[in-house]
Structure 1
Amino acid sequence: MKHEKKLEGLKLYTAAMQSPFTKMLTDARIIFSDDLINQKVMSYLYRHVYPQYEEIIKLSGGGIAGRHRLQDHLRYVGNRRIPNRDRRKNNVGRYLDMAAGQFISKLKI
């Protein structure tokens, strides 16, 4: 049982590292090397945040236009995240999860 859970975590981590969203987050300077080597953070992003990024792209018209809209959102989020100043923003996974959820709500209006 424990071995299966560890294997599942490793699969999620590997998938997260291969995701184009990981590159987008590093390009936007939202996640850094400490985050990239943290299996728990990357697995959380893959399970909770990346599906929302897919939805943002879809709601924004898909394709290149949708990706540009997501990149704009990531720049906005990255510019407002100062982790040491606001303790709520220290957990990058939860912060991105909340930000994506709020952005999706705005897109649906």
Structure 2
Amino acid sequence: MLLFPPFLLMRRCRVTAPRPKNTGTITLIEINWGNPMTFVLSPEGGKQKFTTIEQAAYWLRNKWPVADQCRDSAIDQIDAAMSCLVSVCAARTAFISAAESAGFTPDRTVTGDFELA
């Protein structure tokens, strides 16, 4: 026994949900990177403090002095952490390895730096 006539089963219907008003703003979530990490970049003593995962990703892509496997791995890990696929701890560890591979040395004089999340 059919509950509906066959012509109703073949019919397409379009359901439209109300769309949110476009205000021109984008809501972003912030992923906790943990404590900032400071590296000594040169023998002259230039330092860089990395406070966010976005800053680390920007440096790896745009300002990194060497393009090697450690850098590529760190980029992959940071991208995965930003997509909540791996832990931030894994991304921080990969970033520290890339920094050491690039010749940066950790500035451990800053209290709290380099604790893994």
Same fold? TM cut 0.5: no
Higher-helix-fraction structure: 1
Higher-strand-fraction structure: 2
Report the TM-score when normalising by structure 1: 0.32
